Amino acid sequence: MRITTWNVNGFRAVLKKDFKRSVQMVSPDILCIQETKAKLEQITDEDVQLPGYVFIWNAADKPGYSGVATYIKEGISYEGASKLLGHEEFDVEGRTIKIEMENLVLFNVYFPNGQRGAERVDFKLRFYEMLLQLCTDYHNKGKEIIITGDFNTAHNEIDLANPKENSKTSGFLPEERIWITNYLNNGFKDAYRELYPDKIEYTWWTYRFKARERNIGWRLDYFLVSDSLMSKIKDVIIHQEIQGSDHCPVTLELNSF
């Protein structure tokens, strides 16, 4: 099975940049996209549909903001889907879609960005805490979990080009980074870093300063998987060659569960 995550930085914008062709190239069984920035009524049926997939769309209440969508290849069975975490302050921003399969829970998540100030950093940290508690409840029930999406945090110095210069920048603050460590200390593995402990690759580049051309980036897009799932992971592929957004897609390949 192939699961791909991609922050598209605006669904209507990425449609004009070979989005559907890029998806065909990656050929995921499940596609998780973030930062759609659109409600369904703003998109034509033809544009929103991908041939051979069903989809779940979760838009933020605020127009042109946040939003996630999950596309599932026809024929893949799942028991249920939810757009809500049960916390209104987070749910109104359209940040999650949860898919439940027989023994697996897949979270497609657009984690909050803390760059608008201390209040949003606090919001972001509370989101991390709430989701981890929810995942702990699922682990206690014997479920395996995959969390994927834009985490809006680079975990360690290897995960961004200029760590010292960004030590006081949201996305690399100690209080943000510790939350990824908390997940890793509570039943999760960073699948990419487990497979490639010393490899330097990025998934996001600012549009400024020719950062992508110069490969001055951050690794912000992750697959955190339950410890027990790690043995089933075949590969994690960062598709740096695929354009269309300031993020690139990342694909998890795993044996059938």
Residues designated as active site = 150
- 2 forms bridges with which residues in the sheet? 253
For the packed helices 118-140 and 174-184, what is the interaxial angle rounded to 10 degrees?
A: 0
| H helices present in the chain, as ranges | 11-15, 19-26, 45-48, 88-91, 118-140, 174-184, 191-195, 211-214
Tell me which residue of 75, 55, 5 sits closest to 225, measured CA to CA. 5
- 217 forms bridges with which residues in the sheet? none
How much is the CA Rg of the chain, to the nearest whole Å? 17
Distances in Å between the Cα of 187 and the Cα atoms of 31, 144, 198 are: 24, 10, 22
> Which DSSP symbol is given to 120?
H
